[in-house]
């Protein structure tokens, strides 16, 4: 397991989609939506979760 982690960290090339997502997060793209989730009551979150559309 240690070898796999070291290989992934130091040898494999960095994934472009991960770098792009990090830039989006750092720019604050998701802040508003995250703040909405943080103030939403737990019961409403549970309801939204149970009613979510599941991909098959």
pTM for the complete prediction? Answer: 0.58
CB of 25 within 8 A of CB of 32?
Answer: no
CA distance 23 to 10: 21
What is the per-residue pLDDT for 56? 79
Kindly indicate the confidence band of residue 3, based on its pLDDT and cuts at 50, 70 and 90: very high
Would you call 30 helix, strand, or coil by DSSP?
A: coil
CA distance 47 to 39: 15
Let me know the angle formed at the C-alpha of 19 by 7 and 39, rounded to the nearest 5 degrees: 115
Write down the domain spans for the chain. Answer: 13-50
pLDDT in tens, 4-50: 999 998 999 989 999 999 999 999 999 999 999 999 999 999 999 99
């Amino acid at each position: 397991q240690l070898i796999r982690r070291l290989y992934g960290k130091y040898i494999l090339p960095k994934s472009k989609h991960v770098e792009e997502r990090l830039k989006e997060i750092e720019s604050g793209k998701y802040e508003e939506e995250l703040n909405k989730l943080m103030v939403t009551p737990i019961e409403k979150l549970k309801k939204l979760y149970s009613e979510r559309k599941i991909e098959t």
